[in-house]
A and B are shown apart, each in its own frame.
Chain A
């Protein structure tokens, strides 16, 4: 069945890099996504990667995709306190049916 797994919590020091990892099951997903949820808000698309890509970089964000291992990661360089949020990994289960993980809560401390 479809399943997206990610660790629930990550704590980093301000200025360090954060790496959030995710494993997924559906190898036919065309896109894989990272969504961000700030306190009291809904989810917002942060970035996505097309399945035929290995890496995508967008300013401080780097997405790495290992299709063989069905592993997706999000690296945030120079992590700031404003990056504190819950980060959701999602795979595409067909027809915009996104399958989300439980979310990784990123805490950034001074």
Chain B
């Protein structure tokens, strides 16, 4: 199983701040997915990055896939309380989608 390491594990910030979370691996992935999970719910897909160096934007969220396709980052601009949740990166290894341990983000007003 290819391991995905996420950092930081926890992040607590004020509304309006910017933040970046990271997803790293020693293995190459054909693609990486980012999910957000809210309390009491299952993860929901935000984006899939496929090409090395690719940058995708989803409103205030910017996702980047590393050139070597071993890492990815998620940058949130002007965070809002609605961004609060667990952010998970995931990549395919073998037959299944394997997840990192997540970054738990809390945005306070």
Q: Do A and B bind each other?
A: no
